[in-house]
Each structure stands twice: as structure tokens, then as C-alpha cells.
A and B are shown apart, each in its own frame.
Chain A
Amino acid sequence: MELLIFYPIAFVSIVAALLVVFNKSPIGSAVSLIGMMLCLAGIFVMQKAHFIAILQVLIYAGAIMVLFMFVIMLLNLKGDDTAAWAARDKNKLLSVLTGVLVVGVLYKIVDIATRTELNSPAPLTDNFGTVAEVGKALFTDYVLPFEVASILLLVAMVGALVLAKSKVD
């Protein structure tokens, strides 16, 4: 039953991710990315991680993607012209090798992941993934990383301001 919901969502998210990569226009990429994010939010819901699912929608699909769109609009980017697709660096051998290796590693990972012993999960408690549960962990055991994360965001904000402002002085 759940798989019937999972497969379409997973399929859509993968297609959306591929569209992000292969779309010629950045706007199209961004829209596809939003779609992918929403699909992932659905997957998070299915994993009962409600809090993260909400954050996914609010922060990723909302804030971050708005920022992307904003920058794309600001810079007034058109679609990539086809010439730009031609690689200027000629590491073809390395690329092919990498591709082969990636496939091999992926195969291995999938192989490991689909082993049966991973398919007997522990029974979930009732309040798994609720905001209260995550919030409690966040403000007790993980309060220091939480505060550090806030400082990181502050630094990022200041850094973005410094980098992006035009030379006033």
C-alpha cells in the first residue's frame, strides 16, 4: 500500500532531479528543483519525520529556492547556449573512468542496501518525528551544535552581505 505511494513519488523526484541537471534554462532547473524538494517532503512525511518535512517545504522549497530564483532574475540569466555544453577541459579518460567507478560503487551500495537484514526495522514509538520530540532533543542534547549552527548562519549572512554589496567606499 505504502509502496504504491512511494514509487510514484520517488519516480517523480528522480525525474525532477534529472530535469534540474539537463534543463537548459536556469529557471527551468529551479522549478524542477522545487518539484523535487516537494516530492522529498512527501517522502519525509512517509518516513514520519513531520518536523523535517515541514522544514523541507518551508526552508528549502520556500526560502532557499526563492533565493535562487531571485538571483537568477537579478542576473537576468538566459538559457545556456549549446556551445557552453562543449567541455573545454579534455579529461575524457578520467571522466569515463569516473563514470565506470560511479556505476560500480552504486551497484555495490544498492547491493548492500537491499540485503534483507535491513528490512526488519525497530518498532517506532508514537511520538517519533514530532516537533516536540525533535525540539526536545535539539534543546537538550544538541543545544551546543544548535547554537553553533545559529552562529554559522549569522556568519553566512554577514559574509553574503560583504560579498554581494557593491563597492560603496
Chain B
Amino acid sequence: MLSLAWLVPVFPLIGSIVTGFFGLRIGKDAVGKVACGSVALSFMTTLIILAGLVMLPEEHRIYEQVVFTWFASGDLVVDFGYQIDPLSMVMMMVVTGVGLIIHIYSIGYMHEEYSYYRFFAYMNLFMCSMLLLVMGNNFLLMFIGWEGVGMCSYFLIGYYFEKKSACDAGTKAFVVNRVGDFAFLLGIMYIFKEFKTIDFTSVFAAAPNTLIYGGEAVTLITLFLFIGATGKSAQIPLYTWLPDAMEGPTPVSALIHAATMVTAGVYMVARCNALFMLAPMSMMTVAFIGGGTAIFAATIGMAQNDIKRVLAYSTVSQIGYMFLACGVGAFTAGIFHLVTHAFFKACLFLGSGSVIHGLHGEQDIRKMGGLKKYQPVTYLTFLISTLAIAGIFPLSGFFSKDEILFHSLVDGNMILWGMGVSGAFITAFYMFRLVFLTFHGESRVDPHVHPHESPKVMTLPLVVLAGLAAAGGLLGIPLIKGAHLLHHWLEPVFSFDMKAALDASAQMMIKEGHHVPAWSHLLEKEEHGLAMEIGLMLLSLVIALSGITAAYFFYIKYPTLPDRIMQGQWGYELVKNKYQVDEFYDATIVNPAIEGSFFLWKTCDAQGVDGAVNGVAKTIAWFSDQARAFQSGFVRNYALFMVVGFIGFLIVVF
């Protein structure tokens, strides 16, 4: 059953080719069917593989399938192979499952579009790349998927390419991602230098015996990899592209910019846990960047008025949580949050899409309100997902976020925990601000627009996703031993033997004649009581509820209050303008780059290089001008030249 793995990315690829090349010919209905069908096939294959993987004994739950050797050059042998293990299994389930739901939703959402087929071709191509990313058995194949999803993201952000803002957003996403991808590539090269291989299994197996704990090499590798992850997963400092990416169609935002692609960085860090565990400094960086992003993006989210932008900042913030979890070594919690986030954020985006659809393209929440009675299904699903993201018991977000906060306190420190908790408060606040402004209160809808509920093909995916968002927490119920399914499931991937690694490092250091520092404290596990866990849970619940209450107070009870107290406050203005980060980047990086390019273009290229080239051309043209007088076009002239030549010949001969 596991040998079917190679089929999983193939289905969407076929779908992409069919819809892309024959889309106009086979018609809209067929395009939708092919696109969704291919993803559905992929999903079913994934289920079969899951069954196959479950049947294996726990410690052997890894399956590698080398389809062919991609290329071999000296030491570097790259196989085109798939690796199926619990971690990639989870990702495959999320990608194909959520992807399928969003594909179905898109049939309804994109129905009015002319280039329907183009959309689905890109979406299918994205699915293929994303599956390659999570299934690849080596870094380079992962990188191919990584670039593939980036490319599809670029295509889909710029889907409305006749809009300049969409084109610019696509370019921005592409360029910003390039920064991260470059670092990722450097990381891969460094890995190859150290290990002489880039296969996941061999690298991770060799890591403890090759790299010294906390050494320079492993720190650099992991930092490079993490910079790559910040680019793709929109973390500080490379997060600016994601809010702009909302120019794409809403299903794209849901699939690519919320559920799957942007979490690829988290997946990558989790996949490389064997490397990251060896680099405490990198771990600390990951945790602080994650925590910082979580709170930073959340504050920006408080003051945005575009429904999709609020969700975009929320996505950035939530991915920050995932990195926070990874940074403190709680990879399971990070992946858990990734899964639940995929459910509720996809649901939120699709819900916002439904709202936009119902309002004929209106995205400004100041022009919404009171939509509860027009769009009951959308409202209900949106509310469930919002409760989930805010972390209300017993919805999925509660479990995953709580687990992250718990680990950030236990394995991390108070600062990280404080960041997480305040982020959670803000999250609850701005998410409910969104709900209240959109669905509650007085209707501020343009009187010409008549809101309506979306068709079944759109609401049904919402219901399914809301169900998942509500029930997803069951994957990881804390407290009760053995009930944390996900933890148990991912155990083989994340079972990093710290003691063995430290011993190996110590041996290497002794061999090189270095002094071995005292690492024994790293192995001590702090015991924490059940009471503390429950206390933390209650605390986060209280924080979430207080966030909601604050939102209720501001936006339902006294709707005029926010404007009165916020207007003109420098803090509010700062947040509203997204901390001026875009302007800062424009001033420090983008504009100098543009000016430098202008200099290169106008001075070096246009004047220097072109001048030299044109000079040569002009010289030749001058000679040609002299020579062309002979080419008069008069036949007699040519005859005259002939005669002259002939006479010249005669003179030479005699």
C-alpha cells in the first residue's frame, strides 16, 4: 500500500496539465471536476498510505521510495524519492484534505471568473509542489517543492494580473521569498559540505556524530535553514509579503497563504529537529522570532480594516506560535498547531470569501456589519473558527495553543511565555473585533448591495472545516496519558536522543583537544505538576475570554468608543500603519536597490556598455556610409565599376 506513494503528487500534476492546456476546450464544469477529482484521488491515495503506515510497527514507521536517481555528480547523488513517515503523513493529510475542501469551495467562488481553468491549473500545480515538498526524501527535492509552491503562490497572487496592486504583490512575495530561499539553499550546501549527502535519513542519523553540540557549523546550518523558513512562513523580518498576498483570490489565501504553503517553514524546522536540537542558539532565535512575530503581527491585526488583511496578520501571528513551539523543542506542539490552524484558518478565509462573495467584492469591514441574518451558515462556521483561534475550550485552538504556551513556560522561559500569552489576548481581541464588525451590530452595507448566502458548494466546505476546527483538538488531548494521539504518532520522528548526542559531541571535542563544558544540566527535566498544567489552561482560557470581552465592550456595547479614544493616538496610528515596516524596508533596502539599479542601468549600462557598443556600431556605420555611395541602384554605375575592374585587370596583366 505504501508503494502507492509516488502517485500522490502525480494526480494533481495530471490535473494541472489537463486543466492548464485543455481548460478552455473542455469547459468550466469539466475543469472543476478534473481539478477536484485529481485532488480527491490524491487524498484517497493518502488515506490508503496512512492505513499502510498505521499497520507498520511503531518504530519502523518510515518508508522510503526512490522513484529514480535524479542526478549524480561526484559525491552529490540526488534521488527523486519519497519519504513517508508520521510527520510527512500528517502534512500530506492536511495538504490533500484541506486542499480538497478548498478546491471544492473554489468551484463556487471562482464560478464567475473567465480564466477559471488557469486558476485551477495553478492550484493543482501548487498541490503537486506542496506534496513534493512534504514527501521529498532529501533537501533538494524539498527545495524543488519549496520553489514550486513559491512559484504557484506568485502566479496566484498575481491572478488578477490586470490589477497593478496584484502584480506588485506577486512580485513582492516572489522577491521577499527569494531572500529566504537563498539562505535555505546556502543551508543545503552547508549540509552537503558537512555530511556529503543531503538525504534526510542519513543526514539526521549522522548529525549527532558529525556536528558538535552548539558548534559553529550546526548553528550556521540551522540559522540558514531558519532564514529560509522565515521567508516562506512570513516571520520577522520577511513577513511583509504575506498581507499583500491577499490580493489573490480568497481560496488561494486560504490554501496557500494560510493552511499549507506558509506552514512549510514550520514543517521544515520540525523535519530538521535533529539539527536544531544540536544548536541551542538557533533554537533560541527560532523561539524569539516566533514569539516576537506572534505578538507583533497580532498588534497590527488589531487596526486593520480589510477583512482578509486581518486574517493575514493573524496567520503571521499564528505561525509565530508554531515557531515558538519549535524553538522551545516542542515540535509536536508546533505541528499540532499547524494542523489545527490549517483547519480554522482555512475556514476563516473561506468564510471571509463567502462574505466577500455575498457582498459582491466588498472587503472593508467598516462597510459590513449585521451580516448574521443574511449569511447564517457563514456566520456560524466563522464564529466556531474564531472561537477556535481565540482558544476557547473545547475547540481545537484551545488545545494546540495551550500546549504551546505550556511548553514555552516549561521548556522556555517567562519572556517567551509572556509573549505568547499577550499574543493570545490580542488574538482573541482582534478576531472578535472582526466577527463583531462583520456579523453583528448595525448594517453599514452599501444600500445598493444586497447580501446573500453563498451557494451550497461553498457553504458545505465551510461546515466541514468548521467541524474539523471544532473537533481537531481531539488529536491532542493533554493530561490523560496516551490520549495525545498526535504526540504518540509523531514520537518516532521527534525522538531525539539528547544524551547520546551530547556524549558524541563530548567525544569529538575531546578528540580535538577541546575542553568539554558541563552539559549535564541540559538533561535534567523539570518536573511539573498536574496543577500547574491545569492552572495554565485556566489562565489561557481566562485571557481568551477577557480578549473577547474587551472586543465586545469596544465594538458592540460602545461602538463609538474606539474611534473616540483611538483617534490621533500615536500608538494607534503606529499600529494602523503596520509599524511603518514597509516604509522602512522601502527606504533602507528597496529604494537603494532601485536607485542602484538605476545607476547601473543609466550610467553603467546605457552610457558605458551601450556607449562602447554603439560607438563601434557608429564607426562601422560611418565607413558604411562612405561605402554605400557605391551602391547607387543605377545599373550603369555597376556596369561602370565592372569596366573599371576589367581595365584594372588588363593593366595588371599587360
Instruction: Tell me the bound Cα distance from A94 to B643 in angstroms.
Output: 11
From 83 to 118 in chain A, residues with beta carbon under 8 angstroms from any chain B beta carbon are 88-89, 91, 94-95, 97-98, 101-102, 105, 108, 112
From 639 to 654 in chain B, residues with beta carbon under 8 angstroms from any chain A beta carbon are 640, 643-644, 647, 650-651, 654
Residues of A contacting B650 in the complex (Cβ-Cβ under 8 angstroms)? 105, 108
Interface pair B647/A105, CB less than 8 Å apart: yes
Does B450 have its Cβ within 8 Å of any Cβ on chain A? no
Interface pair A94/B632, CB less than 8 Å apart: no
Does B514 have its Cβ within 8 Å of any Cβ on chain A? no
Interface size on B, residues (CB 8 A): 11
Instruction: Tell me the bound Cα distance from A94 to B638 in angstroms.
Output: 12
Residues of A contacting B651 in the complex (Cβ-Cβ under 8 angstroms)? 101, 105
From 602 to 644 in chain B, residues with beta carbon under 8 angstroms from any chain A beta carbon are 632, 634, 636-637, 640, 643-644
Residues of B contacting A112 in the complex (Cβ-Cβ under 8 angstroms)? 654
Interface pair B634/A98, CB less than 8 Å apart: no
Q: Which of A89, A91, A108 contacts B654 (CB 8 A)?
A: A108
Residue of B with least CB distance to A90? B632
- Given contacts A89-B632, A89-B636, A89-B637, are A94 and B644 in contact (CB under 8 A)? yes
Residues of B contacting A105 in the complex (Cβ-Cβ under 8 angstroms)? 647, 650-651
Interface pair A91/B647, CB less than 8 Å apart: no
Q: By DSSP majority rule, is chain B's interface helix, strand, loop, or mixed?
A: helix
Residues of A contacting B637 in the complex (Cβ-Cβ under 8 angstroms)? 89, 91
Interface pair A102/B647, CB less than 8 Å apart: yes
A-B contact count (CB 8 A): 26
Residues of A contacting B643 in the complex (Cβ-Cβ under 8 angstroms)? 98, 102
Instruction: Tell me the bound Cα distance from A108 to B650 in angstroms.
Output: 10
Residues of A contacting B640 in the complex (Cβ-Cβ under 8 angstroms)? 91, 94-95, 98
Residue of B with least CB distance to A95? B640
Tell me the B residues contacting A by CB distance below 8 Å. 632, 634, 636-637, 640, 643-644, 647, 650-651, 654
Instruction: Tell me the bound Cα distance from A89 to B637 in angstroms.
Output: 8
Residues of B contacting A98 in the complex (Cβ-Cβ under 8 angstroms)? 640, 643-644, 647
Interface pair B634/A89, CB less than 8 Å apart: yes
8 nearest A-B pairs in the assembled complex, by CB-CB distance: A101-B647, A89-B634, A89-B637, A105-B650, A89-B632, A105-B647, A98-B644, A98-B643
B542 → A minimal CB distance (Å): 93
Instruction: Tell me the bound Cα distance from A31 to B644 in angstroms.
Output: 30
B100 → A minimal CB distance (Å): 61
Residues of A contacting B636 in the complex (Cβ-Cβ under 8 angstroms)? 89
Looking at A91, A94, A97, which has the most chain B CB atoms within 10 Å of its CB? A91
Instruction: Tell me the bound Cα distance from A102 to B647 in angstroms.
Output: 7
Residues of A contacting B634 in the complex (Cβ-Cβ under 8 angstroms)? 88-89
Q: Which of B632, B644, B654 contacts A101 (CB 8 A)?
A: B644
Instruction: Tell me the bound Cα distance from A98 to B644 in angstroms.
Output: 6
Residues of A contacting B632 in the complex (Cβ-Cβ under 8 angstroms)? 89
Residues of B contacting A101 in the complex (Cβ-Cβ under 8 angstroms)? 644, 647, 651
Residues of B contacting A89 in the complex (Cβ-Cβ under 8 angstroms)? 632, 634, 636-637
Residue of B with least CB distance to A101? B647
Residue of A with least CB distance to B641? A94
B41 → A minimal CB distance (Å): 57
Q: A88-B634, A105-B651 are in contact. List 4 more A-B contacts (CB 8 A).
A: A89-B636, A91-B637, A101-B651, A105-B647
Residue of B with least CB distance to A89? B634
B302 → A minimal CB distance (Å): 79
Residue of A with least CB distance to B634? A89
Instruction: Tell me the bound Cα distance from A31 to B3 in angstroms.
Output: 98
Instruction: Tell me the bound Cα distance from A112 to B654 in angstroms.
Output: 10
Residue of A with least CB distance to B648? A101
Instruction: Tell me the bound Cα distance from A97 to B648 in angstroms.
Output: 12
Residues of B contacting A97 in the complex (Cβ-Cβ under 8 angstroms)? 644
Residues of B contacting A88 in the complex (Cβ-Cβ under 8 angstroms)? 634
Instruction: Tell me the bound Cα distance from A87 to B650 in angstroms.
Output: 27
Residue of A with least CB distance to B643? A98
Instruction: Tell me the bound Cα distance from A91 to B632 in angstroms.
Output: 10
Instruction: Tell me the bound Cα distance from A91 to B643 in angstroms.
Output: 14
Instruction: Tell me the bound Cα distance from A88 to B632 in angstroms.
Output: 10
Residue of B with least CB distance to A102? B647
A114 → B minimal CB distance (Å): 15
Instruction: Tell me the bound Cα distance from A70 to B650 in angstroms.
Output: 38
From 57 to 95 in chain A, residues with beta carbon under 8 angstroms from any chain B beta carbon are 88-89, 91, 94-95
20 A-B pairs, CB-CB below 8 angstroms? A88-B634, A89-B634, A89-B636, A89-B637, A91-B637, A91-B640, A95-B640, A97-B644, A98-B640, A98-B643, A101-B644, A101-B647, A101-B651, A102-B643, A102-B647, A105-B650, A105-B651, A108-B650, A108-B654, A112-B654
From 38 to 68 in chain A, residues with beta carbon under 8 angstroms from any chain B beta carbon are none
B223 → A minimal CB distance (Å): 76
Residues of B contacting A91 in the complex (Cβ-Cβ under 8 angstroms)? 637, 640
Instruction: Tell me the bound Cα distance from A89 to B632 in angstroms.
Output: 8
From 124 to 152 in chain A, residues with beta carbon under 8 angstroms from any chain B beta carbon are none
Instruction: Tell me the bound Cα distance from A2 to B631 in angstroms.
Output: 49
Residue of B with least CB distance to A112? B654
Residues of B contacting A95 in the complex (Cβ-Cβ under 8 angstroms)? 640
A56 → B minimal CB distance (Å): 25
Instruction: Tell me the bound Cα distance from A91 to B650 in angstroms.
Output: 22
Instruction: Tell me the bound Cα distance from A127 to B647 in angstroms.
Output: 38
